[in-house]
Structure 1
Amino acid sequence: MTIKRVGILGAGKVGIVLAGLALKAGYEVRISGSGSVEKIDLIIKTLVPGAIASENNDVVANSDIIILAIPLSRYKKINPALLKGKLVIDATNYWWETDGIREEVLEPNSTSSEQVQAYFKDSTLVKTFNHMGYHNLQEDARIKGNPKRKALFVTGDDRAAVDEVAHFVDTMGFDQVVHYDIKDGIMTEPGSPLFGASLSYKDLKDVLDHFDQTEFGKKVMASKLNR
């Protein structure tokens, strides 16, 4: 698949930053938010001129790839049929200040991306853009080969989709550390040593390689063994 059109569901800080990066990379960008199209359009024209503000249906229908850039607690407000057959990037994280009590948002026996994938069962989900702060996403994007380039973790169960998203991440200005297991997305979520970090490919890979030796990693590994 050749990605030319990027759709972003969520016009918050992360969605706006990713829209800007996608525009800079030469993609056509559509973005929707929780407010009216008129309100979102004003924000878009000010912060990311060139992007197209629209409703969810139009964004999805006219995009080759969809980025979920919404609070995790809101993903079930989207009709799963809307994203049927779509390649979807899950950039969400559970964050208690926004999402509320964890047990009200997530089942305890699997990771957030597994649950998002299960909800959008007819879509193909890849996890990335979730562990780096929006300021770093905006400021640390670099052309390929730049010695100051940072890396993003990319993971999912569909190898072809993961590879496609990894290429997309490359065009957005970041190297990629790739896994092929959506459960590994937990290695980059709040509480992990990677969350909030802006690291080079080597440093990010080193942290992942030693993940199971960290206190967070030990808890994750123990929970996997108890499933």
Structure 2
Amino acid sequence: MERRELLKMIAAATGMAFVGGEVWAAGLTTPATAGSKSSFSTSDIALLDEIAETILPKTSTPGAKDAGCGAQMAVQITDCYNATEQGWFVDGLKQLRARSQQDYKLDFMQLSKEQRHQLLVKLDAEAKARNAEIYASANDSTNSRKKSSANAGKSVADNTPHYFTLFKQLTLFVFFTSKVGATEVLRYSAIPGKYEGALPYKKGDRAWAT
């Protein structure tokens, strides 16, 4: 699977273009933040791990924690996102903790697997609604430049994506580009290799990582 193909699939799954996608598509590191000090504590990384595991839990195949997604997500955010985008992630963790307290009177780390699943399902629905709102606002702006000041005030403020979209996108990207995701969940064949124009396939076969 090509990097750009994966980015398109993630965008389709989350309803928004991959945040920082221009960096990932090129396979580059953002010079402004590369090597900068991490904004994530040990507890933040543990939280990222549990968020990722709730999104991609272990079943008959490995889950996000098996791929060490939390630690790798922290590295990717620190090294490959600009300061504004990093701020979205840091603020998103704060909002997630607050939402967990609001809905369950417990920290996210104290929730049961079922409670975590329920919370993230709610956040996913909210994120999709937010992304649809951003998309509609962008279309309105493109198709009609003549807006009254009153209508302009109703546009989506600065188009900041919902924080759960950020978590979900990066979880999917980190997992499916990890060794575990690429070789134990997807199917991996070393490149370059011999050319085979027709391969047997039956319904339910795993997708290819390469």
More helix by share: 2
Q: TM-score, normalised by structure 1?
A: 0.23
More strand by share: 1
Larger Rg: 2
Q: TM-score, normalised by structure 2?
A: 0.24
The structure showing larger relative contact order (alpha-carbon pairs under 8 Å, at least 6 residues apart) is 2
